[in-house]
Structure 1
Amino acid sequence: MKTIGMIGGTSWHSTIEYYKLINQMASKIIGDWANPPLIIHSINIELMREQNKKKINTKYLDTARKLQTAGAEAIVICANTPHMVYDFVQPQIVIPILHIADATGKEAKGLGLKKLGLLGNKPTMTGEFIPKILMKNYDIATIIPEVDAIPRAHEYVSKELTQGVFSQEAKQFFIQQIELLKEKGADGIILGCTELPLLIQKDDVDIPTLATTNLHAQMAVDFIFNK
């Protein structure tokens, strides 16, 4: 088995979910009596809240290098938003960063999806680090909610979901956004926040949903077992 280095801490709830999923998926291959080699480095969430891109890039590069030195053969960033550092960090390390957009794009392409609605916090929805890879590598377009809905979505993610709070109000809001994205032509929805699949279940909507955390965890497991 190959060793994965995990960068967590954007939300400790997210880090736990990644660790759990990777081990659960791996156990289906090697059995419950064994587990894959994982190295976890958890970053203080305050770093992301400062929104200092230079500081964030520097910290993630330093962390990736430490994991590389510790024996990691690939890096998994345990959340959507921190993938904003990919273009800065990847060229400066020798092991691959398994990108969450690649995990999502492969699944979407397999389902024949062409236009995906993207839900998450403000940096994830308005940034290019997911749409760019989806278009370049998979020819899949991405659309986001209307401008006036983005601050509210961000607030639900940052003040509720990442704190382990899953309110009915938040659920209804995101279901409404999914319906609006469908009206704009989306044939699938990216649940681009680790906690969103815990809030929105597949049976809640009548459109394919792509839970990025699950897909990313599966990508990690495939790497561990050379699949």
Structure 2
Amino acid sequence: MIGLIGGISWRSTALYHQRINEAAERRGGRNANAESVIVSLRYETLLEQGRAGNWDGVADAIVAALARASAAGATLGLLTAVTPHRMFDRITAASPIPLLHVLDPALAMLDEQGIGCVGVLGTSYTLTAAPFLDRIDAAGLAWRIPDEPGRRDLDAMIQDELTQGVVTARAERRAMELADDLMAAGAEAVLLACTELPLLAWRRYDRAPVVDAVTSHADAAVVRMDL
């Protein structure tokens, strides 16, 4: 059983649940789905802790949620948000069940495609976190991220719009402009390292391959659980 630690935001949790079951259906047929349990945390509380720099508090809440998922029968945990993965090692060390890092399947996919440099889009909390960028380095990939004004635009787009279920043409244009900037800086593909960014219409973006960390994470979990 997969344990989904959600609520960060609830919309990304719903997207994870959908992607996991779509992957299970592709593997097992039209009536297949994934056995899972969702432990949904209070997004507002975790957001306040993150803004205050209390990442230990965020990690503790997630570890407690993983214990609840384990008690319900989960044997593999997924964090349904990218930003908390900045505390992945700390969370993993205290978790009663193994976790699958959101980046690992996406990085493997980029490697298979022969990509040497990836442009990464996500929140500032993610894009400036050394553990996150170090993991990309360890995979042998160079990376590009937006400049500070671009990161501020992404933060506003994600926090003020996408987590609230608001998708605008203006946000889509700006996100794809930032992707263009990363391509101009040498990136060969775009990595959506935020669980809300896939809500935008990336199928329209044709300048480079776009890898969605949510979909690759969900697919890898289904394969690992042999669903």
TM over 0.5: yes
Aligned to 2:102: 100
Query: Is structure 2 residue 157 aligned with structure 1 residue 175?
Result: no
Once residues 200 and 95 of structure 2 are traced to their aligned partners in structure 1, the CA distance between those partners, rounded to angstroms, is: 35
Give the SS at the match of 1:160: helix
Structure 1 residue 94 displacement after superposition: 4.5
Once residues 189 and 183 of structure 1 are traced to their aligned partners in structure 2, the CA distance between those partners, rounded to angstroms, is: 12
Once residues 79 and 91 of structure 2 are traced to their aligned partners in structure 1, the CA distance between those partners, rounded to angstroms, is: 11
Aligned mate of 2:117, from 93, 115, 118: 115
Instruction: Give unmatched runs, 5+ long, in structure 2.
Output: none
Once residues 80 and 131 of structure 1 are traced to their aligned partners in structure 2, the CA distance between those partners, rounded to angstroms, is: 12
Aligned to 1:72: 74
Q: Which moved more, 1:70-79 or 1:127-136?
A: 127-136
The one-letter code sitting in structure 2 at the alignment partner of 1:39 is V
Q: Supply the RMSD in Å over aligned alpha carbons.
A: 1.5
Aligned to 1:31: 29
The one-letter code sitting in structure 2 at the alignment partner of 1:8 is G
> Number of aligned pairs?
223
Give the SS at the match of 1:130: helix
Matched-pair contact (CA < 8 Å) for 1:36–1:224: no
Once residues 102 and 130 of structure 1 are traced to their aligned partners in structure 2, the CA distance between those partners, rounded to angstroms, is: 11
Matched-pair contact (CA < 8 Å) for 1:118–1:125: yes
Instruction: Give unmatched runs, 5+ long, in structure 1.
Output: none
Once residues 32 and 202 of structure 2 are traced to their aligned partners in structure 1, the CA distance between those partners, rounded to angstroms, is: 30
Matched-pair contact (CA < 8 Å) for 2:188–2:209: yes
Once residues 86 and 47 of structure 2 are traced to their aligned partners in structure 1, the CA distance between those partners, rounded to angstroms, is: 14
**Runs of 4 or more consecutive aligned structure 1 residues displaced over 3 Å after TM superposition:** none
Give the SS at the match of 1:218: helix
The one-letter code sitting in structure 1 at the alignment partner of 2:218 is A
Aligned to 1:223: 224
Once residues 206 and 147 of structure 2 are traced to their aligned partners in structure 1, the CA distance between those partners, rounded to angstroms, is: 19
Taking structure 2 as the reference length, the TM-score comes to 0.93
Q: Which moved more, 1:215-224 or 1:141-150?
A: 141-150
Q: Which moved more, 1:4-13 or 1:26-35?
A: 26-35
Structure 1 residue 201 displacement after superposition: 1.7
Matched-pair contact (CA < 8 Å) for 2:192–2:198: yes
Equivalent positions of 1:1-227 (< 5 A) are: 3-50=1-48, 51=50, 52-136=54-138, 138-225=139-226
Give the SS at the match of 2:131: coil
